[in-house]
A and B are shown apart, each in its own frame.
Chain A
Amino acid sequence: MKVCLVTVGATASFVKLVRQVLSEPFLASLKQHNYTHLLVQYGKDGKPVMDEFLENNPEGSEALHGIGIGGFDFKPSMTPSIMMTVHNPAKNQEQGLMISHAGTGSILEGLRAGVTLVVVPNTDLADNHQEQLAIELDKTGHAVNSSVEDITSAVEKAESKRNEKPGTHGSQGETEVQVSGAMADQLATLD
């Protein structure tokens, strides 16, 4: 089993991304890289798109490329879904892919679990610091930064980048202070 998980988050709408990952070239690319399942957290606004797609392409139709497609609008905890994309011999899982809408919470949870990550900043939103974070994570090798339009080539990139180790950016060795140390310093306890 090799799963690709797509998340659009809880608050903002990101129908563009849902449409993109249900497109022909994207599914063909998943097939090419031996993916077996596509799981989409599509959000409130994404439901009609998903429903329409599944109606037009019932199980077994050619457009699906043999990939099992499922989805849900939102779950309070994404952890079980995220864990499905991580290499786990006991469950016969290959290392899959997580495509995230670049929300901090979802990126953090993904990295914590050790997923292969593609981040797609939602450019319709005002805060551009999400985009900067995506660019930096691409530089350090923790994720592949992609626009919605280039999502198919991002799969390619993620597959080839997978075996490279992420950079050491942020490793505690090169930092000025450690959080726990800085907290303890403030208590000013006698030795």
Chain B
Amino acid sequence: MASTLWLLWKLFWKLLGPITTIAILAVLIIIVSLTYSQNAPIPQVRRKNQPVHLLLVLGSGGHTTEMFSMLKNIPLDPTLYTYRTYVVSSGDNFSAEKAREFEADFLEKSNILSENYTIVTIPRARRVHQSYWTAPFSTIHCLWACFEVLLGRYPGQKRLPPRYLSPQPDLILTNGPAVGLCIVIAAKIIRFCEFVSRWMSGSSSRPAVSRLRTMFVESWARVSGLSTTGVLLLPLADVFLVQWRSLAGRQAWPGMKKTQYAGWAVLPSPGGKQRIKDVHE
């Protein structure tokens, strides 16, 4: 018994070196690739009038309200973002309903044949009151679902029209729910894998249309400090917008992209043309 323990002890010390080395290497690779990814220019190869697939992450009352407030305010152009996928957490009927409402009432007005959207319901990262012990498992479950959604393979997910060359969304827009973080992480991992495979096959010199670009808009309610999701997304999102000046210019570490001030994206500017346009019905 004692000798077995002794053997295990010796084995542990023998493996400690390699394990530490691998861990340090992995961290280095992650830091370098994140830094490279945020600073690499986007190859300008997308042709005009090419259809664009936008993925929007919805979650819980406040975030969803802000998201649609912003989309109405921008306003979202359905002739540019020709197909929209809404990601909703299971049990969140409010968000799904708001998405349908937005598509019917707002985008329909622009005389575009609708039905150019789909709502995908995925499992929650962490349910309210769920114990922190089981949370990692459900988070992995959620992350897996995110991969499937981004690759267009989630069970029951509607197929895109054939003129979309890839099932992957071109742009991902999120504003704070935890699912948004999962989606962005999944997008980054897919992009990393594609980058490595292009580099290994030697086709990295020919620029390809870039997809799965990620954009995060911090909640309007965040005045003086970033949200937890925001802090975690600092090194990950391609664009990070804030709605209060005091939050502009933050970055994950030196050399990374900075947060940019976008004004009140969720509200028409004071005295602006769009003021109180769509509330009177």
Residues of A within 8 A of B (CB): 10-11, 79, 83, 103-105, 108-109, 111-114, 129-130, 132-133, 135-136, 165-180, 182-190
User: For residue B94, which residue of chain A has the nearest CB?
Assistant: A76
CA distance A7 to B241 in the complex (A): 30
**Which of A10, A104, A135, A166 has the most B CB atoms < 10 Å from its CB?**
A104
Q: Can you pick out 18 interface pairs between chain A and chain B where the beta carbons lie within 8 Å of each other?
A: A104-B65, A104-B219, A104-B221, A108-B267, A112-B267, A129-B225, A133-B220, A135-B223, A165-B271, A170-B267, A172-B269, A177-B241, A179-B217, A180-B77, A187-B171, A189-B46, A189-B47, A190-B48
User: For residue B44, which residue of chain A has the nearest CB?
Assistant: A188
| Residue contact B262 to A103, C-beta cutoff 8 Å | no
| Residue contact A188 to B263, C-beta cutoff 8 Å | no
The minimal Cβ–Cβ distance linking B154 to chain A, given in whole angstroms, is 23
| Majority secondary structure of chain B interface residues (helix, strand, loop or mixed) | loop
| Residue contact B221 to A129, C-beta cutoff 8 Å | yes
Is B279 among interface residues, defined by CB-CB distance under 8 A? Answer: yes
| Residue contact B276 to A177, C-beta cutoff 8 Å | no
**With A113-B276, A171-B270, A188-B43 known to touch, is A136 a contact of B74 (CB < 8 Å)?**
no
CA distance A91 to B222 in the complex (A): 37
The minimal Cβ–Cβ distance linking B218 to chain A, given in whole angstroms, is 11
For B224, list chain A residues within 8 Å (CB).
Answer: 129, 132
CA distance A155 to B77 in the complex (A): 41
User: For residue B173, which residue of chain A has the nearest CB?
Assistant: A183
| Residue contact A170 to B45, C-beta cutoff 8 Å | no
The minimal Cβ–Cβ distance linking A138 to chain B, given in whole angstroms, is 12
| Residue contact A105 to B264, C-beta cutoff 8 Å | no
User: For residue B219, which residue of chain A has the nearest CB?
Assistant: A104
| Residue contact A182 to B215, C-beta cutoff 8 Å | yes
CA distance A177 to B270 in the complex (A): 17
Is B150 among interface residues, defined by CB-CB distance under 8 A? Answer: no
Besides A129-B222, A190-B45, 10 more A-B contacts (Cβ < 8 Å) are A113-B276, A172-B272, A175-B262, A177-B241, A179-B217, A180-B77, A182-B260, A186-B239, A190-B44, A190-B46
| Residue contact A108 to B46, C-beta cutoff 8 Å | no
CA distance A113 to B171 in the complex (A): 31
Report B54-78 CB contacts with A as 1/0, cut-off 8 Å.
0000000110011001100010110
CB-CB contacts below 8 Å: B136-173 with A = 170-171, 173
| Residue contact A180 to B48, C-beta cutoff 8 Å | no
| Residue contact A171 to B269, C-beta cutoff 8 Å | yes
| Residue contact B268 to A112, C-beta cutoff 8 Å | yes
For A168, list chain B residues within 8 Å (CB).
Answer: 269-270
**Which of A103, A168, A170 has the most B CB atoms < 10 Å from its CB?**
A170
CA distance A82 to B162 in the complex (A): 45
B48, B171, B271: the one contacting A186 at CB < 8 Å is: B171
CA distance A135 to B221 in the complex (A): 11
For A130, list chain B residues within 8 Å (CB).
Answer: 221
CA distance A56 to B48 in the complex (A): 69
CA distance A165 to B223 in the complex (A): 21
**With A104-B62, A182-B241, A188-B45 known to touch, is A136 a contact of B272 (CB < 8 Å)?**
no
| Residue contact B262 to A179, C-beta cutoff 8 Å | yes
